[in-house]
Amino acid sequence: MGTYYTPKECAKKVRYLVLPDMNRKIVEEFITILGMRDTFEEHRVPIPNKVVMYYVVLLKRL
């Protein structure tokens, strides 16, 4: 059976792969936004659509 990772763990693992500069920038932004997730939820602000888009991009690359 495989290991399950949270989106944040997944993003951290992807960050260490050899990625072109643009992809590295996307991953860094994704990690930054995920780090702010608690703040968004605390103030009941919807998480930006950017997170959903980056998450889909990362999943396709794995």
State the average pLDDT for the chain.
Answer: 68
Environment class of 57 (CB within 10 Å of its CB; exposed 0-12, middle 13-18, buried 19+): middle
Cα–Cα distance for residue pair 58/45, rounded to 1 Å: 23
Report pLDDT digits (tens) over 22-48: 666 776 777 677 777 777 777 776 666
Rg of the chain, C-alpha, whole Å:
12
The token pair that represents 42 in the structure block: 């605390």
Give the chain's length.
62
Q: How confident is the model at residue 49 (pLDDT cuts 50, 70, 90)?
A: low
Q: Does 10 or 52 have the greater pLDDT score? A: 10
Q: pTM for the complete prediction?
A: 0.35
18, pLDDT greater than 60: no
